[in-house]
Chain A
């Protein structure tokens, strides 16, 4: 899934099917199938500097420069020149001086995956040398640090970091934490506290606030999945898991199941964009059964639990996460002074408290 940076209601999605992708221009209410002849797309990305430029990667690499109306195959020039490979991940450099610089993980059946780089919007690719690293097995997830231009991480059988746009790499995972040495997901927060998180084995989450020099394991685990810091905010961590969508406001120490059906069924991808001061959150699901339980009427000696099952359709669900404003006024004071023994009254209001707009496709 990919969301336009300038039009938060413009969403691109692939379900791994052949021959094209889906595009919605109204925030998932309606979808249009856009054909890409010969393509089997697994990754989508909107260019950070040109919202009309969209990348589709999978069994090949395709580019659109008109918002997805038309696509062209960029060909493939990367050794080994195997047409049977596929892209595993794709990320764009956030440095405006490096527009067109993309990194990708590319896998070929029976061979180790490659980390690849392009500086011309995908027209030509080069394999990236990660040596003298202790061994590059299967690059899985790439994440650029927007707050530190030139810094990029990728996860493989460990966590690697580059501070020169991917020219040289250093292994950064904690060797005392063997659970980190896995093909996990990387998420990067930029404020109010810079933080890098890596999802390790069995959903364990590791975080670093010093650029990967030291790591701390989060207190709570909640299945493995795709982690995203919404808008780089370290207090807004979401995790798409096989058990549903969860969120954490304490960097993974505790998790809460998201409200609605997306908190109940497998979620596979996340996307977001800001609009009018609020965040539009998109979650993709394969669907399934959502079960909610509740107790019977009070007064019974033994609570009888009723379970309601709802069939949830596969698709992409939208939710608006409100950024509320909060006021506080103190009364009972005289020129900022309160007499001992008197009470001060704190009053305020939070507006708005909720504008949830669940939609499905």
Chain B
């Protein structure tokens, strides 16, 4: 799951999330086009399965100008 948040009044608001299926290589990819000039951040999470524990990345922040 790829989650996108946008900063609003000092708080982070969720603006989008995308569920992706991981292939055997473990690779994933997704593009996103922000619509406002704000600060954004993205994070990927991996759901627990029968043979994997859950995992997640740290937030990656960027600005749109």
> Which residue numbers of A lie inside 8 Å of B, CB to CB?
233, 235-236, 247, 249, 256, 258-260, 263, 279, 319-330, 332-333, 336-356
Contact in complex: A328, B44 (CB < 8 Å): yes
Tell which of A326, A341, A356 has the most Cβ of chain B within 10 Å.
A326
- Give the distance in Å from the alpha carbon of A305 to the alpha carbon of B56 in the complex: 38
- Give the distance in Å from the alpha carbon of A349 to the alpha carbon of B29 in the complex: 9
B12 at the interface (CB under 8 A from A): no
Tell which of B29, B36, B52, B65 has the most Cβ of chain A within 10 Å.
B52
B11 at the interface (CB under 8 A from A): no
Contact in complex: B62, A333 (CB < 8 Å): yes
Known contacts A344-B34, A346-B2, A346-B42; A320 and B51 CB within 8 A of each other: yes
Q: How many pairs, one residue from A and one from B, have CB atoms within 8 Å of each other in the complex?
A: 131
Contact of A321 among B43, B52, B60 (CB under 8 A): B52
- Give 9 nearest A-B pairs by CB, closest first: A259-B50, A328-B57, A249-B48, A350-B26, A356-B51, A326-B55, A343-B31, A343-B33, A324-B55
Min C-beta distance of B48 to chain A, whole Å: 4
Min C-beta distance of A281 to chain B, whole Å: 9
- Give the distance in Å from the alpha carbon of A339 to the alpha carbon of B35 in the complex: 10
In the complex, given contacts A332-B31, A346-B42, A346-B60, what are 16 additional A-B residue pairs having Cβ atoms less than 8 angstroms apart? A236-B48, A249-B47, A256-B50, A259-B50, A321-B53, A326-B55, A328-B60, A330-B60, A333-B62, A336-B61, A336-B62, A338-B64, A344-B34, A348-B27, A354-B49, A355-B51
Contact in complex: A346, B65 (CB < 8 Å): no
Min C-beta distance of A319 to chain B, whole Å: 7
